[in-house]
A = this chain, B = another copy of it.
């Protein structure tokens, strides 16, 4: 059996899927869509071999996606990195504006949480009172 450990460096698509949580389908899809920083190396037989750098990038991608960055932005970011040094300011703007969105999202979720918590409270209290109140219908 040949694994990343025994071989030292590069990983198969399956191993990368395991490590990133993305499916092998998604990994191929991301590559087709130009979301990767460089072209993935191949074995003589045509199989993909991912390097540590590829995996690190993918792990970042996962975090950005998880927090709602659209694939289009991710693609733009990958393009900037591919172009090499010189556009760091734009990369920073991209990340920074995403960070704002994440903050906003967190605030929105916290508000939702409090609304839901209130509603959970209403129901919990009702159930605790048991049959003591026949006429309770919060249509909610």
**A contact residues vs B (CB 8 Å cutoff):** 37-38, 53, 56-57, 60, 63-64, 66-67, 81, 84-85, 88-89, 91-92, 95-96, 98-99, 102-103, 105-106, 108-113, 115-117, 119-120, 123-124, 126-127, 136-137, 139-140
Is B85 touching A137 in the complex (CB atoms < 8 A)?
Answer: yes
Question: CB within 8 A of A126: which of B88, B109, B116, B124?
Answer: B88
**What residues of chain B lie closer than 8 Å to A109, measured between beta carbons?**
66-67, 102, 105-106, 109
Of chain B, the residue at the smallest CB distance from A89 is B127
With a cutoff of 8 Å between Cβ atoms, the chain B residues found around residue A103 in the complex are: 113
Chain B residues, CB < 8 A from A37: 139
